[in-house]
Amino acid sequence: MTDSKYFTTTKKGEIFELKAELNSDKKEKKKEAVKKVIASMTVGKDVSALFPDVVNCMQTDNLELKKLVYLYLMNYAKSQPDMAIMAVNTFVKDCEDPNPLIRALAVRTMGCIRVDKITEYLCEPLRKCLKDEDPYVRKTAAVCVAKLHDINAQLVEDQGFLDTLKDLISDSNPMVVANAVAALSEIAESHPNSNLLDLNPQSINKLLTALNECTEWGQIFILDCLANYTPRDDRESQSICERVTPRLSHANSAVVLSAVKVLMKFMEMLPKDLDYYGTLLKKLAPPLVTLLSAEPELQYVALRNINLIVQKRPEILKHEMKVFFVKYNDPIYVKLEKLDIMIRLASQANIAQVLAELKEYATEVDVDFVRKAVRAIGRCAIKVEQSAERCVSTLLDLIQTKVNYVVQEAIVVIKDIFRKYPNKYESVIATLCENLDSLDEPEARAAMIWIVGEYAERIDNADELLESFLEGFHDESTQVQLQLLTAIVKLFLKKPTETQELVQQVLSLATQDSDNPDLRDRGYIYWRLLSTDPVAAKEVVLAEKPLISEETDLIEPTLLEELICHIGTLASVYHKPPSAFVEGSRGVMHKRLPARTGSGEGTECPDVGNAAGGSAPEAAPSIIPSQGDLLGDLLNLDLAPPTTPAVLLPLLGGDIGGSPAMGAGFGAAPAVMPASLNAPVGGGLGDLFDLGGGVGMPMGAYIPPKTVWLPAMKAKGLEISGTFARRAGVIQMELVLTNKAMSVMTDFAIQFNRNSFGLAPAGPLQVLTPLGPNQTIEVSLPLSTVGPVMKMDPLNNLQVAVKNNIDVFYFSCQYPISMLFVEDGKMERQVFLATWKDIPNDNESQFQIQDCHLNSEAASNKLQGSNIFTIAKRTVEGQDMLYMSIKLSNGIWVLAELKVQAGNPNYTVSSGTRRDR
Amino acid sequence: MQFPAKMIHSLFLVNSSGDIFLEKHWKSVVSRSVCDYFFEAQERASEPENVPPVIPTPHHYLISVLRHRIYFVAVIQSEVPPLFVIEFLHRVVDTFQDYFGVCTEAAIKDNVVVVYELLEEMLDNGFPLATESNILKELIKPPTILRTVVNTITGSTNVGEQLPTGQLSVVPWRRTGVKYTNNEAYFDVVEEIDAIIDKSGSTITAEIQGVIDACVKLTGMPDLTLSFMNPRLLDDVSFHPCVRFKRWEAERILSFIPPDGNFRLLSYHVSCQNLVAIPVYVKHNITFREGSSQGRFELTLGPKQTMGKGLEAVLISSQLPRGVLNTNLNPSQGTYNFDPVTKLLSWDVGKINPQKLPSLKGSMSLQAGASKPDENPTINIQFKIQQSALSGLKVNRLDMYGEKYKPFKGIKYMTKAGKFQVRT
């Protein structure tokens, strides 16, 4: 007599049979039929057609039957909204039942019926149940408010249920308090800015009292809620910590981890010299260790969180290294996490033990694990300087095993060790070279090539070795190709006489036979560099490299702070901010650790995350350049050195200013050069074209210097600076993206808000390669002026959103209005005269440009470069009067008069405009 | 249409062949195709237990545990503490086991309606509702053969009509009106030793995971206290909610009103710093010679620091390198078995007699011409020591207050090997 019999009726007409049974007069038969329906439902069969028949069974005294019908209702009400209304009356009646179990059951089920039409009928019964004398009903009703809010938030607010819910926080029954907190937390999640959970010392006290008495699940809700509170001072912080610490001994690991979160957060406020601070640190270690003896799934989540905790406060677990030693039958996901933490805890004191373990792991069976163990040895060498020698010898031992993947990993990490400790361990190069042939993975090959190139002078047959790689150049991955190119150039600079042929070979392979723009670019740059100035080449290519940082994989401090506030959550498992991955994150608020404040002081602004982008000016360029300043800027071109080209100049040799064509030595057309190189560089007057210069020719337009638009602090380590330029009639947004975070950034995209002149990106943001930590990339984004228009204040304000794999960031910047001056802005003389007269005086404005030491001729030429055209010139009483016209991209004409007095550095400009009809 | 859902959205039960045999949705119905991401991960994993416990999908997260060869896959849609989900799934497993005796696909299918009722009772809107087995049993009576028969005859149900009394009392874990004719309270102190021993026989790590499991069948509302001879050993403990924490902090005495029936009173952890005694040693000599198709295998076991108690139920297992084709070994006692497919060697030793140490000696045949294996096999040891807790933990006395009768009391000690590994 088991339920499996319900699964066996799969013959045709099953639904029909069930229908008959459901309508049977016999209670027992009815119940059996409902059970069959439920059984079908559990295995995913569609039994919604039976809806009316099942609902008919609802009016019953039999609790089990009622429950089963309710179960069915919850599943199918959504698909049968009209029929579901039939059930309303029974709900209302059941909410008045003398048996609290039935009242609670009714209110519980009601909330699960996600049908708009029904919800309004539920308000009255719900209101009664929230005030029910039985706490079991109250606690069930509290959850129902959250359910209802999910269906119809407005209704819940209008009916005042939120206030009732808030009142329940003061309920006498801890279970009711816990459920009210849970419900409020859920509702607050969809209203990040609402002040639903108004936490103050009184309510905190109530929560702490309920914490001791409610169920384990309630404790989790309450602890998570507590974690959102910011205590006023260190004393309050300490008293909360004292009341939370007993939770560390709870059998439920989720309670433990939530308690750890609260403590880690509030600890931040305690002075470090306080005795209690030390006590708390000691209390945190045992529960974390205990989590590691639980089931592997729990261990995994715990380890991911411990990884954060040891980064924030390594002192907690510094003596517990051994619990992270890997057992050979741990699941792989636990092994890998343990390994990571072992490295984080590695120090001079325990390095011998750690290395012995890692060496042991490197002989295990699981390839992924072995690889990571070998890498870990390398990371130890970099982290603990005293151990470097031992690490290197361990790695050499491992290379001797000749196990292919072990050798390759070892070579990759030895490269890093060389970079960290230059000129120390090069004696091992010979051993490495012996294994050249066994390397088949790009990363290992690239590492080996790097080593050969870097130490070419010590390797007698470096040229032979590199030549052997060159044979299959086109079959190599880009990583290896780039490395090989650089290595051979290095070799050439070190041993120029013997390797000329080799370097020519690689340069032509890279520039002529490759489809990869990165490779061609690098090839051209080297080629140019070598052919023009070998000394400079040596300086550039063989420059001293910055030492690699101790731990490249540390989480960036701002992110770490945020993740510490989210211990125990999915965010902490993925080590990503919650906003980065939660579906439809509704403006998730970023949490920060509280700042340490003394009892007497007020709350200070938390000073966190200063690691990123320190030099970035806080205020984005908020000064609006008035028209006058702008013209002044344009005239002062010489004073502000052009930024972009200046950087590239030394790379390309001196003759670029003279002719845009590339040196004769280059066979291939410079089509792959970055766009910025095609524009005339240097801002010299000689570069400006004459007055008649055709539209569409490259112009020496004014380019403001780059400013920081988005400081790294505000964008999780992404710093954006940039400027605007008009090149060959196209407005370019020149961006410099710098990754100041610890992780690689990818998937960049950009979007503009509507703006005054309809600026919009003409294409996607071209960031093709991932942006590594401390890497900078310059991108030109062509803009069109056909986007949607909305008047901005200031007029030239542009609101930009930039997205990457981490988040979306917003900033605003101002573009110089001169970007919008179009090339065909030269007005006919006659038209100019007529228009000039036509402009009402009100539309005219006048200002002075000061300290401009240019004569009128030069000024006129200069302005021409920015598409400000001189129409006529008059000389009156020693004053030069220049009449000029400008056309904006949206067709508005601006006419101007420039008065220049010889010897007087101050210019007077009068300008006016009128919409062109 | 998707609803923003807090907490657990749905649950799928998946058997070892990858079929979903039960689904339960607490909110809107999530298509079972969401499990495809789980199946993908399952396929990638080399062993069933290597499936990662948290798997992201475009719209949901899947959090799973593997118990009794069934994957319990919970679907969540927004930020939910994963441990919360995993702990809840454990509770589901425990409840099934408690109700049906075993937690197997067959048992679940046989009791599908009870399963459904239980799941509904355990979670409301994704919030855990009643997870204590004492309360659940009052709400939904566990199926027994007798009850099934009675129900069929009388038409009564297995759903409780009354509000569970414990649900809202200060002691939610205990039901009221408990009556027994024989009042008894038994406590089992069970310790598991996890250790890694290196080639030379020195201990790399050793730790003890201890639990005190109780079986309390006492009438009324008894209030118990349990004290230890050496409570200082217990500095890292997790308690059942019934234990009064303040009293423990102050006096190191466990004071509690017990739940009715079986429950885990506390678990504790004694870490390597306290110098854990290692009760067994292994002498081993496993060698492969380059160029030879034979390898030597020698293993001898012996007792060490067992506090005078004997080692029982000793079982050795070891994963031999892939290159080993077969073995030809001679056990001095017990039986051994080598599976040439999985390369798993197991040796059921039984009791260790200190006068005559058990050994397993012989040769292994390797693939001809293959180079000698790189990896060294690890030896896994299982054993039991009766009437002794390795850490030395001892209960001093057990007292009962609040009730008049005299209960039977009993304390049992046992030590087992947990993950006890010897590297070679």
CB contact under 8 A, B53 and A300: yes
Partners of A62 on chain B (C-beta within 8 Å) are 157
CB contact under 8 A, A583 and B2: yes
The mean-pLDDT minimum among A136-140, A458-462, B52-56, B229-233 falls in A458-462
d(CA A211, CA A215): 8
Which range has highest mean pLDDT (A252-266, A823-837, B127-141)?
A252-266
First to last CA, chain A: 91
Q: Are B181 and B239 in contact (CB under 8 A)?
A: no
pLDDT, position B273? 55
Partners of A258 on chain B (C-beta within 8 Å) are 81
The mean pLDDT of A294-300, rounded to a whole number, is: 92
Give the total residue count for chain B.
424
Strand order in the sheet with B184-197: B237-239, B261-270, B203-217, B184-197, B408-423, B378-386, B312-319, B344-350, B335-339
The mean-pLDDT minimum among A61-70, A132-141, A472-481, A843-852 falls in A843-852
Asked if omega into A794 is within 30° of 0 (cis), the reply is yes
Comparison of pLDDT for B166 and B340, the residue scoring more: B340
d(CA A114, CA B128): 20
Partners of B8 on chain A (C-beta within 8 Å) are none
The mean pLDDT of A505-532, rounded to a whole number, is: 88
Q: Are A377 and A390 in contact (CB under 8 A)?
A: no
Amino acid, res. B7: M
Q: What would the two tokens of residue B358 be?
A: 């058990």
The widest CA-to-CA distance across chain A, in whole angstroms, is 117
Distances in whole angstroms, Cα of residue A146 to Cα of each of A76, A184, B6 = 20, 7, 10
Helix (H, G, I), strand (E, B) or coil at A731: strand
Q: Which residue of A has its CA nearest to B65?
A: A297
CA-based nearest distance A284→chain B, Å: 10
d(CA A253, CA A289): 11
pLDDT, position B150? 52
d(CA A899, CA A909): 6
Q: pLDDT grade, residue A172 (50/70/90)?
A: confident
Strand order in the sheet with A707-710: A707-710, A718-727, A730-739, A776-784, A760-761
Q: Are A452 and A459 in contact (CB under 8 A)?
A: yes
Distances in whole angstroms, Cα of residue A861 to Cα of each of A686, A851, A866 = 10, 18, 9
pLDDT, position A684? 33
CB contact under 8 A, B267 and A182: no
d(CA A32, CA A18): 10
The mean pLDDT of A521-544, rounded to a whole number, is: 86
Residue A664 predicted with pLDDT over 80: no
The mean pLDDT of A313-338, rounded to a whole number, is: 90
CB contact under 8 A, B110 and A4: yes
Partners of A253 on chain B (C-beta within 8 Å) are 83, 86-87
Nearest to B241 among A71, A216, A360 (CB): A216
Residue A624 predicted with pLDDT over 50: no
Residue B362 predicted with pLDDT over 60: yes
Instruction: State what percent of residues in chain A have pLDDT above 70.
Output: 83
CB contact under 8 A, B375 and A67: no
Q: Which residue of B has its CA nearest to A290?
A: B269
Residue A737 predicted with pLDDT over 80: yes
Judged on CB neighbours under 10 Å (0-12, 13-18, 19+), A837 is exposed
Q: Which of A397, A570, A579, A589 to mutate to test the interface with B (most CBs of B within 10 A)?
A: A570
First to last CA, chain B: 57
CA angle A820, A634, A859 (to 5 degrees): 115
The mean pLDDT of A127-145, rounded to a whole number, is: 89
CB contact under 8 A, B236 and A290: yes
Q: What would the two tokens of residue A717 be?
A: 């380590």
How do residues A26-74 score in pLDDT, each as one tens digit? Answer: 777 888 888 888 878 777 777 888 888 888 887 777 777 888 888 888 7
DSSP β-bridge partners for residue B240:
none
Residues 6+ apart with CB under 8 A from A196: A162, A166, A184, A187, A188
SS3 per-residue string spanning A227-291: CCCCCCCHHHHHHHHHHHHHHHHECCHHHHHHHHHHHHHHHCCCCCCCHHHHHHHHHHHHHHHHH
pLDDT, position B345? 92
The mean-pLDDT minimum among A214-223, A602-611, A641-650 falls in A641-650
CA angle A473, A476, A477 (to 5 degrees): 135
d(CA A233, CA A560): 23
Amino acid, res. A541: V
Partners of A196 on chain B (C-beta within 8 Å) are none
CB contact under 8 A, B82 and A134: no
Q: Which residue of B has its CA nearest to A61?
A: B161
Residue A583 predicted with pLDDT over 90: no
Residue B414 predicted with pLDDT over 50: yes
How do residues B122-162 score in pLDDT, each as one tens digit? Answer: 888 778 888 887 778 877 877 765 555 555 555 555 565 55
Partners of B276 on chain A (C-beta within 8 Å) are none
Partners of A3 on chain B (C-beta within 8 Å) are 109-114
pLDDT, position B169? 58
Partners of B423 on chain A (C-beta within 8 Å) are 360
pLDDT, position A7? 55
Partners of B78 on chain A (C-beta within 8 Å) are 189, 582-583
CA-based nearest distance A188→chain B, Å: 11
Q: Are B174 and B259 in contact (CB under 8 A)?
A: yes
Nearest to B84 among A67, A220, A401 (CB): A220
The mean pLDDT of A4-8, rounded to a whole number, is: 56
Place of tokens 């699941």: A331
Nearest to A173 among B50, B168, B207 (CB): B168
Nearest to A101 among B80, B83, B163 (CB): B163
Nearest to B168 among A2, A3, A136 (CB): A136
CB contact under 8 A, A249 and B239: yes
Q: Which of A288, A297, A299, A337 to mutate to test the interface with B (most CBs of B within 10 A)?
A: A297
How do residues B61-115 score in pLDDT, each as one tens digit? Answer: 899 999 999 999 999 887 788 999 999 999 999 999 888 888 899 999 888 888 8
Q: pLDDT grade, residue A341 (50/70/90)?
A: very high
**Other residues' Cβ atoms within 10 Å of the Cβ of residue A446:** 25
Q: Which of B91, B13, B246 is nearest to A249 (CA)?
A: B246
Q: pLDDT grade, residue B215 (50/70/90)?
A: very high
pLDDT, position A603? 38
Q: Containing H/E element for A431?
A: helix A429-434
d(CA A61, CA B262): 34
Q: Containing H/E element for A854?
A: none
Rounded mean pLDDT of chain B? 84
Q: Which of A503, A498, A491 is nearest to A462 (CA)?
A: A491
Partners of A99 on chain B (C-beta within 8 Å) are 161-163
Residues 6+ apart with CB under 8 A from B102: B68
Q: Which residue of B has its CA nearest to A294?
A: B209
d(CA A168, CA A179): 9
pLDDT, position A610? 38
The mean-pLDDT minimum among A311-315, A621-625, B371-375, B415-419 falls in A621-625
Nearest to A71 among B28, B50, B116 (CB): B116
Q: Which of A495, A499, A489 is nearest to A528 (CA)?
A: A489
Amino acid, res. A680: P
**Other residues' Cβ atoms within 10 Å of the Cβ of residue B97:** 16
Phi, psi of B325, rounded to the nearest 5 degrees: -85, -45
How do residues A366-392 score in pLDDT, each as one tens digit? Answer: 888 999 999 999 888 888 888 888 899
Residue B412 predicted with pLDDT over 90: yes
pLDDT, position B148? 54
The mean-pLDDT minimum among A187-201, A597-611, A635-649, A783-797 falls in A635-649
CA-based nearest distance B95→chain A, Å: 16
Place of tokens 């409780």: B160
Residue A464 predicted with pLDDT over 90: no
DSSP β-bridge partners for residue B315:
B348, B382
Nearest to B159 among A64, A111, A333 (CB): A64
CB contact under 8 A, B238 and A249: yes
Nearest to B112 among A39, A143, A246 (CB): A39
**Other residues' Cβ atoms within 10 Å of the Cβ of residue B104:** 16
Partners of A586 on chain B (C-beta within 8 Å) are 4
CB pairs under 8 A between A and B: 271
Which range has highest mean pLDDT (A642-656, A704-718, A832-846)?
A704-718
d(CA A83, CA B43): 43
Side-chain half-sphere exposure of B176, counting CA atoms within 13 A: 10
d(CA A208, CA A241): 10
pLDDT, position A562? 87
CA-based nearest distance B303→chain A, Å: 23
Residue A596 predicted with pLDDT over 70: no
The mean-pLDDT minimum among A162-166, A505-509, A887-891, B371-375 falls in B371-375
Residue B371 predicted with pLDDT over 90: no
pLDDT, position B226? 93
CA-based nearest distance A272→chain B, Å: 24
Q: What would the two tokens of residue A899 be?
A: 């008065």
Strand order in the sheet with B359-366: B280-288, B294-303, B359-366, B324-331
Residues 6+ apart with CB under 8 A from A349: none
Which range has highest mean pLDDT (A206-215, A458-467, B352-361)?
B352-361
pLDDT, position A580? 66
CB contact under 8 A, B81 and A71: no
Nearest to A4 among B22, B109, B241 (CB): B109
CA-based nearest distance A416→chain B, Å: 26
Q: Which residue of A has its CA nearest to B132?
A: A215
Rounded mean pLDDT of chain A? 78
Strand order in the sheet with A808-814: A749-752, A797-803, A808-814
The mean pLDDT of A890-904, rounded to a whole number, is: 78
Q: Which of A281, A363, A450, A285 is nearest to B372 (CA)?
A: A363
Strand bridging mode A808-814 / B408-423: unpaired
Side-chain half-sphere exposure of A331, counting CA atoms within 13 A: 22
pLDDT, position A284? 92
CB contact under 8 A, A44 and B374: no
Nearest to B84 among A254, A289, A331 (CB): A254
pLDDT, position A552? 60
The mean pLDDT of B160-174, rounded to a whole number, is: 61
Q: Are B51 and B62 in contact (CB under 8 A)?
A: no
CA-based nearest distance A801→chain B, Å: 23
Helix (H, G, I), strand (E, B) or coil at B344: strand
d(CA A470, CA A463): 10
Phi, psi of A595, rounded to the nearest 5 degrees: -85, 160
How do residues A103-130 score in pLDDT, each as one tens digit? Answer: 888 888 888 777 777 788 888 889 999 9
